[in-house]
């Protein structure tokens, strides 16, 4: 019997193995490590699976990454912006309204003062919409937070809990709002004010280097679980092998994990059926020339734009594209209800040229359509209730479900690595 079976060689699975050091076997469905933290290359253009900018705050994770990457990383000050009302402003919206129409700026300032100082509420927000209105006011909600997040999550914020946003959405102060209305920002705010990134090769270099630091004889590529017998603590694999475990650590999407468990009770299966997530269709776009705005990514809250965000890797790190050219990504959140790919691309191209990010559609050298099936977990009314049923049952049989889609949450690459560390520590304590 193997001590620990790890399903998935993404960052959380690799991190689990790294912290365990021994007595593990990793099984990965692809022929390479990384999960969603990989980079594709064509004709000198590099594309990640949309934006993967690495933020390090945890000292332990920072030490691991620096030891692995040594001098292969560069620190980048974030340049992110928002396109609305026909103009481009800086992110975050709530503290960077300089350049917007005067009427819009007035609504934002007066709405914030009313919500925070004149008519504040002591009620704890039960929905994301209530959280925005309480901490930012009607103007910010109307002109950015509600339309953008409805586009991103394919769900109106009134139908979402505020659970996810505490760490990722910065709450503004009045002086920040007033300062941001009068002039461009002098400094970034928010959890991702700067980020680390490989100097060459894209974010995939990080996961590849991390995986290569492990004993390769314990990583089995192109092998997937076909059935899990939780009560017997056994996994049947696509290579015909059946392997026993004392602990199982899974970073595969939670719904996929539950489908594999033959002896999961109906209550767990029913709870899992209520979990909701969005897919992201996106385009890798190679452009002959530089973008008109030097931003690393831009948010698009308004409905005329089918996409919610467009980014440019080569604006952040110029090695991501040949000299004088640009590598872009454009993201569309959906639930499987998109128009045909060709029509969707034309809508994307129209938006890029119309907003001025790409000067001329003839500048596009090629594009590649891709899709991420599990992208954004939706924090609706069933979210916590479902997890409260699923996770205790998994834990009872030695199963830890970790990572963004295993834990069914909204997190970062660093958090995925922390999940792996915590899973390993828990297993070591049990031993």
Report pLDDT for 171.
Answer: 87
* DSSP secondary structure code for residue 54 in this structure: B
Token duo for residue 94: 């709530």
- Distance from C-alpha of 309 to C-alpha of 83, rounded to nearest angstrom: 10
Q: Helix or strand or coil: residue 425?
A: helix
Q: Where are the domains of the chain?
A: 2-34+58-70+205-276+379-430, 94-182, 277-377
> At which residue do the structure tokens 């960077």 appear?
96
Report pLDDT for 190.
Answer: 53
Nearest to 310 by CA among 28, 125, 50: 50
Report pLDDT for 174.
Answer: 95
Q: What dotted CATH number matches 277-377? A: 3.90.660.20
Token duo for residue 28: 């990965």
Report pLDDT for 184.
Answer: 84
- Residues with pLDDT less than 50, the chain: none
Contact 263, 231 (CB under 8 A): yes
CA 242, 246, 250: angle at the middle one, nearest 5?
75
Token duo for residue 54: 């690495």
344-350 long-range contacts (CB < 8 A, ≥24 apart) are 344/281, 344/306, 344/369, 345/283, 345/369, 347/306, 348/283, 348/306, 348/307
- Between 3.30.70, 1.10.3110, 3.40.50, 1.20.120, what CATH number should domain 94-182 receive? 1.10.3110
Nearest to 132 by CA among 108, 98, 97: 108
Report pLDDT for 417.
Answer: 98
Report pLDDT for 187.
Answer: 58
Report pLDDT for 351.
Answer: 97
Report pLDDT for 262.
Answer: 93
- Distance from C-alpha of 282 to C-alpha of 332, rounded to nearest angstrom: 6
- Distance from C-alpha of 171 to C-alpha of 328, rounded to nearest angstrom: 30
Its pTM stands at 0.94
For the chain, the helix, strand and coil percentages under 3-state DSSP, each to the nearest 5: 40, 25, 35
Render 269-305 in DSSP notation, one character per residue.
HHHHHT--EEEEEEEEEEESS--SS--SEEE--STTS
Q: How many CB atoms lie within 10 A of CB 32?
A: 14
Strand partners, 74: 197
Q: What dotted CATH number matches 2-34+58-70+205-276+379-430? A: 3.50.50.60
Report pLDDT for 289.
Answer: 97
Report CA 343 to chain centroid distance, whole Å: 26
Report pLDDT for 192.
Answer: 65
């Amino acid at each position: 019997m193997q001590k620990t079976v790890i399903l998935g060689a993404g960052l959380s699975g690799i991190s689990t193995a790294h912290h365990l050091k021994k007595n593990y076997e990793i099984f990965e469905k692809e022929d390479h490590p990384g999960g969603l933290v990989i980079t594709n290359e064509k004709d000198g253009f590099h594309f990640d699976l949309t934006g993967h900018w690495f933020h390090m705050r945890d000292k332990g994770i920072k030490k691991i990454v620096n030891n692995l990457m040594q001098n292969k990383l560069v620190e980048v000050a974030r340049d992110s912006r928002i396109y609305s009302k026909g103009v481009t402003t800086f992110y975050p919206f709530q503290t960077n309204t300089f350049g917007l129409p005067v009427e819009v700026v007035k609504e934002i300032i007066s709405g914030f003062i009313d919500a925070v100082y004149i008519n504040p509420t002591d009620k704890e927000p039960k929905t994301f919409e209530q959280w925005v209105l309480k901490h930012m006011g009607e103007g910010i909600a109307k002109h950015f937070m509600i339309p953008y997040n409805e586009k991103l999550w394919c769900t109106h914020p009134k139908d979402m809990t505020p659970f996810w946003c505490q760490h990722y959405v910065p709450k503004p102060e009045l002086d920040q709002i007033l300062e941001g209305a009068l002039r461009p920002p002098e400094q970034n705010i928010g959890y991702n004010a700067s980020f680390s990134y490989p100097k060459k090769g894209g974010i995939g270099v990080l996961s590849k280097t991390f995986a290569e630091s492990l004993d390769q004889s314990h990583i089995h590529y192109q092998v997937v679980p076909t059935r899990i017998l939780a009560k017997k603590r056994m996994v049947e694999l696509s290579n015909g092998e059946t392997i026993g475990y004392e602990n199982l650590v899974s970073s595969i999407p939670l719904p996929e994990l539950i489908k594999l468990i033959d002896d999961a009770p109906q209550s767990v299966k029913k709870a899992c059926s209520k979990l909701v997530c969005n897919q992201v269709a996106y385009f890798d776009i190679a452009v002959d020339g530089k973008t008109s705005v030097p931003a690393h990514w831009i948010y698009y809250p308004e409905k005329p734009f089918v996409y919610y965000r467009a980014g440019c890797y080569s604006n952040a790190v110029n090695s991501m594209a040949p000299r004088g050219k640009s590598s872009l990504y454009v993201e569309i959140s959906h639930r499987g209800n998109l128009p045909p790919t060709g029509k969707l691309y034309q809508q994307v191209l129209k938006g890029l040229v119309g907003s001025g990010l790409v000067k001329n559609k003839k500048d596009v050298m090629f594009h590649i359509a891709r899709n991420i099936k599990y992208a954004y977990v939706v924090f609706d009314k069933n979210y916590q209730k479902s997890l409260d049923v699923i996770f205790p049952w998994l834990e009872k049989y030695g199963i830890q479900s970790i990572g963004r889609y295993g834990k069914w949450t909204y997190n970062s690459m660093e958090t995925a690595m922390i999940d792996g560390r915590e899973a390993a520590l828990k297993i070591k304590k049990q031993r």
